[in-house]
Amino acid sequence: MTRPAARRVSLAPQVDHVDHADRDACCAPASAAVASSCCDGGCSASAPAPAVPAGPASAQTAHYAIANMDCPTEERLIRNGLRAFPRLARLDFDLMARRLVVHHHDADLDALTAALRGIGMRAERLPDDAPHAGTPAAPGWDARQKILLALSGLAALAAEALAWHGSGDHAPAVVLLSALSLAGTGWPTLRKGWTALRTRTLDIHFLMSLAVIGAIAIGQWPEAAMVIFLFTLAEMLESLSLDRVRHAVHALLKLAPDTVMRQTPAGEWQEAPASSAAPGDLIRVRAGERIALDGIVTDGASSVDQAPITGESMPVARHPGDAVYAGTVNGHGTLEVRVTAVSGDSTLARIVRLVEQAQRQRAPTQRFVDVFARYYTPAVVALAVLVAALPPLLTGAPFAGWLYKALVLLVIACPCALVISTPVAIVSGLTAAARRGILVKGGAFLEAGCRMTALAIDKTGTLTAGKPVVTQVRALAGAGHDDLLLLAASLEQGSDHPLAAAIRAAAPDAHSHLPVSAFAALPGRGVGGSIGGCAYHLGNRRLIEELGLLDADVETALQPIEGAAQSAVLLADETQVLGVIAIADALRPQAAQAVRRLRALGVATVMLSGDNRPTADRIGAEAAVDAVCADLLPEDKLRAVRRLQQAHGTVGMLGDGINDAPALAQADIGFAMGAAGSDAAIESADVALMDDDLGKVPAFIELSRATCRVLRQNIGAALAIKAVFFALALGGEATLWMAVFADVGASLLVVGNSLRLLRPR
């Protein structure tokens, strides 16, 4: 199947080939069709798609901030303007941040800067150590320009009013007012049009310049003035609208405060710039303050609102030893935090950097639109030439009338609304996902989400919490529930075994226990000890059998626990078994609901597990997944994902980002769970879920589908508006200023429609 373009997979290890035969009976179907697609059939494996090289290894880079680079029009102008510049390897554009990265081989950067400025770009070279994330350059609409634009508009309106009231288009007052309006706002457009002509770029400035010059040539002075005024006004409105999208990502970075209260070597607390703090420093965060840096709590307890990072709706408790992240909000208590990352490398800063990088990757729809626009504009220009020339030549019709229609076609031909429709929607979708704690690594993956029809899910640590918990306590011989847990937790107080930790966590008071004497560890069986002068034993079935205490009642209590593939821990005194404690890796609370939401979205779910069949079946039944695959090695999971792709098309894989590397690399979209604070998980996944909420997967699919709907709406609206005005222009019903309104309206429409994705859901 076709994989998303520009995919870079850094997961390791990746499986290049599989030598052994398929494992038998890997799937227990809850849905026969899904099960057969992931576990039956051939299993020949091929190497994963190789990573796309970033560029020539020896190339150097130079970074530029370009204040007036807003849309693909400027990108194409720069590409054409620098086409013949020597020693360039590649140009990377970040239109949302107005940044250009030049990959070169010892190029003359001063000459390159001059060349950029020579084609009208306000380019400023950034220092080599400049941060990747920062506030974009302002578009530069100062007070003088706004006043000039207002005066130009008044002059154009006055010229139109005089012409409509009988003075005519050629009256001296009308021509003078039109000329003043053109002088106020037309010169920048004409200059850009000349630059576009020199670089052989058929952009909007070239088309608008042709339209204005043509209108003047046939004596339409008021209309030429009104067209150039409306166009300049449109550029300003479009730039301001795009800034709303542009600043949405950078607003995240501003969440982290610029200063911190840092402890000095003398033990005093002093305010200092956050950028000056280093890993190992101790900072203090008071109640209600934002946390400036990633770190580990060393003292204090509080609740922290982690919504900017993980998208969690409720604050989470934080105690000594817990991690906290820059940009989150401390609740009611004062925390002392040991810094673990500098400000430029915090989880928040990495999120912003990765979203910026994702913006640079063109989504499939965007690549299609760019190619379409490349041929569409010259075709319409050729049509306009034919409209202007053929009727007068063939029928003797007045040349001025058909030239006017051709000029209207030129204005309508501008593909600005079309080419801007996709990047604005994709960036809005990426930003909306980041706000929800879903980090998407590129527009290709955001688009692929709307086509996803199956999701493979790892069991341990994904569907389940990844650590055992007490699921059931069955009291025997009249013992009380809390008494059983307290006795068991006291006996396990000194053990670091996972089952012991589960028992201690389930005790009525996890921080208190009864004194134990004569403690004895019984390897492979359990522990023993004396509490209050009474001897107790805590262990497995084997221990109870050796003590001769396994009777019919105990067997009856054990059967449902062992039948559900749970671990049974028995507590006994010298004469009888007091109770049975069932322990298992429990399903995450939100897992079943997330699976139901996925099913409602038409996405089949398959659980992939290396665990034994009974345990996998139990978890699969609790989660209500469509199919269960058990006893799988990593390469078996890879082949299961491949078979799902053959049966379903676009397939996702949800895992921890590392252990399931082969399957994640094979899947069309790899989801990593709980990526907050984990460099490896954030870097390796196509989509990183910043906390352990499975509900973010259906949320991602819903957002992906909403983004794809907006993309289709934007493209459809842009093309429909142009088609209508093409017909009006050929019929002689459209004017130049109407064409400008149509182009402006289409651009603002697609930007506004895309901004809907940023609304809270």
Report the share of the chain in percent with pLDDT over 70: 82
More confidently predicted of 414 and 279: 279
Q: Give the CA distances from residue 431 to residues 95, 569, 659, 698, in Å, rounded to whole numbers and listed in that order.
A: 15, 48, 28, 17
The total of other beta-carbon atoms located within 10 Å of residue 468's CB is 21
- Sign for the CA dihedral angle at 140, 146, 148, 150 comes to positive
Q: What is the pLDDT of residue 44?
A: 31
Peptide linkage before 614 cis (omega within 30 of 0): no
Whether the per-residue pLDDT at 311 is higher than 80: the answer is: no
Q: What is the pLDDT of residue 594?
A: 94
**Sole residue written with tokens 């609901």:** 593
Q: In this structure, are strands 650-655 and 452-458 parallel, antiparallel, or unpaired?
A: parallel
Q: Which two tokens stand for residue 726?
A: 């093409």
Residue 436 identity: R
Q: What is the pLDDT of residue 6?
A: 35
- Mean pLDDT of the region 58-74: 81
Whether the per-residue pLDDT at 448 is higher than 70: the answer is: yes
Separation CA 720–CA 503 (nearest Å): 66
Give the distance, in angstroms, between the CA of residue 761 and the centroid of all CA atoms in the same chain.
16
Q: Which two tokens stand for residue 655?
A: 């895992």
Q: What is the pLDDT of residue 411?
A: 78
More confidently predicted of 674 and 521: 521
Whether the per-residue pLDDT at 219 is higher than 60: the answer is: yes
DSSP annotation of 167 reads I
Of 464, 347, 441, 358, residue with least CA distance to 670: 441
pLDDT band at 42 (very low <50, low <70, confident <90, very high): very low
More confidently predicted of 690 and 671: 671
Whether the per-residue pLDDT at 626 is higher than 90: the answer is: yes
Q: Give the CA distances from residue 630 to residues 18, 696, 739, in Å, rounded to whole numbers and listed in that order.
A: 18, 25, 63
Report the share of the chain in percent with pLDDT over 90: 17
Helices and strands: H and E segment counts in the chain: 24, 27
pLDDT band at 295 (very low <50, low <70, confident <90, very high): very high
Contacts of 561-567 spanning 24+ positions with Cβ under 8 A: 561/472, 561/474, 563/614, 564/614, 564/618, 565/612, 565/614, 565/615, 565/617, 565/618, 566/471, 566/472, 566/618, 567/468, 567/499, 567/540
- Mean pLDDT of the region 575-595: 89
DSSP annotation of 290 reads B
Q: What is the pLDDT of residue 46?
A: 32
Spatial neighbors of 716 by CB under 8 A, at least 6 apart, are none
Beta strands in 255-371 (DSSP E): 259-263, 269-273, 282-285, 295-299, 302-305, 316-318, 323-324, 329-330, 335-339
Taking only the tens place, the pLDDT of each residue in 137-153 is: 444 566 777 788 888 88
Taking only the tens place, the pLDDT of each residue in 182-194 is: 888 888 888 888 8
Q: In this structure, are strands 259-263 and 282-285 parallel, antiparallel, or unpaired?
A: antiparallel
Q: What is the pLDDT of residue 400?
A: 82
pLDDT band at 360 (very low <50, low <70, confident <90, very high): low
The total of other beta-carbon atoms located within 10 Å of residue 227's CB is 29
Separation CA 377–CA 123 (nearest Å): 27
Strand partners, 629: 27, 608
Q: Give the CA distances from residue 255 to residues 98, 325, 434, in Å, rounded to whole numbers and listed in that order.
A: 22, 11, 14
Whether the per-residue pLDDT at 173 is higher than 80: the answer is: yes
Q: Domains of the chain, with CATH numbers?
A: 27-47+443-463+588-690 (3.40.50.1000), 61-125 (3.30.70.100), 259-344 (2.70.150.10), 477-575 (3.40.1110.10)
pLDDT band at 678 (very low <50, low <70, confident <90, very high): low
- Mean pLDDT of the region 263-269: 90
Q: What is the pLDDT of residue 511?
A: 62
Q: What is the pLDDT of residue 601?
A: 95
pLDDT band at 600 (very low <50, low <70, confident <90, very high): very high
pLDDT band at 243 (very low <50, low <70, confident <90, very high): low
Separation CA 495–CA 15 (nearest Å): 38
Separation CA 32–CA 716 (nearest Å): 40
Strand partners, 329: 290, 305
Separation CA 268–CA 265 (nearest Å): 7
Catalytically active residues are 458
Q: What would the DSSP string read from start to end of 388-407? A: HHHHHHHH---HHHHHHHHH
Q: Where are the alpha helices (DSSP H) in 396-519?
A: 399-412, 416-435, 443-448, 481-491, 498-506
Q: What is the pLDDT of residue 241?
A: 63
DSSP annotation of 718 reads H
DSSP annotation of 35 reads H
Whether the per-residue pLDDT at 644 is higher than 70: the answer is: yes
Whether the per-residue pLDDT at 128 is higher than 80: the answer is: no
Q: Which two tokens stand for residue 577?
A: 């078994």
Q: What is the pLDDT of residue 312?
A: 61
Separation CA 637–CA 627 (nearest Å): 13
- Mean pLDDT of the region 520-537: 88
Of 759, 649, 745, residue with least CA distance to 706: 759
Q: What is the pLDDT of residue 37?
A: 56
**Sole residue written with tokens 């303050």:** 289
What is the pLDDT of the chain when averaged over all its residues? Answer: 80
